[in-house]
């Protein structure tokens, strides 16, 4: 069995793993994301120790962004403009690669999670498909013609602009850049700020969910008409509230209003918009998946 290293550098926590796949996890370490120096030192120390024991075929990094993924850029693998203190302009990929002397691949945490779902999860090798994480933030990754989506930078669909009715929802949103974009309206912190309660503890009957399903459905309709994905996977902390799925599915069908004449939408929406299979380990297993795809 080939073994790979994976790092998920998230906004609040960092997870390091040695694995061959989701059923072959050899070692794992979790710690808080603090300063870049402290966080990277912990990660590098973990992999140095593991390298003494195991032969690793490569390392995958799935990181919060925005991150420079243009291989021709002088700042390839750098975190770019994050509001996270100390992390702007941090050289992530090359620093780790140089310290560990291992082939390294980097992508966004959501593209990594998408690759995990593609290889081992609910995407089952289908392309194009998209993966959304809806939790502390909102992000999207995905594959198009079998390749992870990159372009000008990478998808930032958490910041798509949605319709908000200021009468039914006077909350102006918290995104520092746009106010009431998707993330500003529908992420976990937005739910907490609007209703004064965590999405984890609200009862299923709370009116928050109707509004939440509406915003998520708007974003899914935009995604469907823009990218024509064959599957949409929804993960992240907010989506652990499973009652949201049928609400979103109904809203999507209703908003499309028969325009997209596909049996997946009209008759099998429950197989079209689905939960993530890799759950809470999606990010770090996705980083392993990046390495598997790049160095197998």
Name the residues that contact Zn ion, by CB under 5 A. Answer: 159, 175, 177-178, 181
Smaller CB distance to Zn ion: residue 158 or 286?
158
DSSP string, 226-261: HH--SEEEEESSGGG-TTHHHHHHHHHHHHHTT-S-
Smaller CB distance to Zn ion: residue 139 or 286?
139
C-alpha 98: how far from chain center:
26
CB of 189 to Zn ion, least distance (A): 12
| Long-range contacts formed by 201-210: CB under 8 A, 24+ apart | 204/241, 204/243, 209/241, 209/243, 209/244, 209/247, 210/247
CB of 92 to Zn ion, least distance (A): 23
DSSP letter (8 states) at residue 70: -
How far is 169 from 81, CA to CA, in rounded Å?
30
Smaller CB distance to Zn ion: residue 177 or 259?
177
CB of 110 to Zn ion, least distance (A): 15
Backbone angles phi, psi at 23, to 5 degrees: -100, 5
Asked if 67 and 76 touch (Cβ cutoff 8 Å), the reply is no
Asked if 136 and 188 touch (Cβ cutoff 8 Å), the reply is yes
CB of 6 to Zn ion, least distance (A): 28
Smaller CB distance to Zn ion: residue 56 or 175?
175
User: Which tokens is 54 given?
Assistant: 């195991």
Smaller CB distance to Zn ion: residue 150 or 178?
178
CB of 160 to Zn ion, least distance (A): 8
């Amino acid at each position: 069995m080939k073994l790979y290293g994976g790092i998920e550098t998230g906004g609040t926590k960092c997870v390091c793993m040695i694995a061959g796949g989701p059923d072959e996890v050899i070692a794992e370490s979790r710690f808080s994301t603090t300063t870049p120096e402290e966080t990277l030192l912990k990660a590098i120390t973990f992999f140095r120790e593991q390298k003494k024991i195991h032969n690793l075929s490569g390392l995958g990094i799935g990181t919060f962004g925005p991150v420079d993924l243009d291989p021709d850029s002088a700042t390839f693998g750098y975190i770019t403009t994050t509001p996270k203190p100390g992390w702007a302009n941090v050289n992530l990929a090359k620093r780790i690669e140089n310290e560990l002397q291992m082939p390294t691949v980097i992508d966004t945490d959501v593209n990594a999670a998408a690759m995990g779902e593609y290889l081992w999860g609910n995407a089952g090798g289908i392309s194009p498909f998209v993966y959304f994480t809806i939790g502390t933030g909102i992000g999207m990754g995905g594959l198009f013609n079998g390749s992870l989506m990159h372009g000008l930078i990478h998808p930032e669909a958490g910041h798509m602009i949605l319709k908000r009715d200021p009468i039914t929802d006077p909350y102006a949103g918290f995104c520092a850049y746009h106010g009431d974009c998707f993330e500003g309206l529908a992420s976990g912190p937005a739910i907490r700020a609007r209703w004064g309660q965590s999405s984890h503890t609200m009862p299923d009957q709370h009116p928050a969910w109707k509004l939440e399903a509406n915003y998520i459905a708007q974003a899914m309709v935009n995604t469907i008409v823009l990218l024509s994905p064959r599957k949409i996977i929804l993960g992240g902390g907010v989506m652990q509230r499973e009652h949201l799925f049928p609400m979103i599915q109904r809203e999507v069908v209703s908003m499309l209003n028969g325009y997209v004449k596909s049996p997946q939408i009209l008759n099998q929406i429950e197989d079209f918009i689905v939960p993530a299979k890799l759950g809470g380990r999606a990010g770090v297993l996705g980083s392993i998946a990046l390495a598997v795809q790049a160095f197998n």
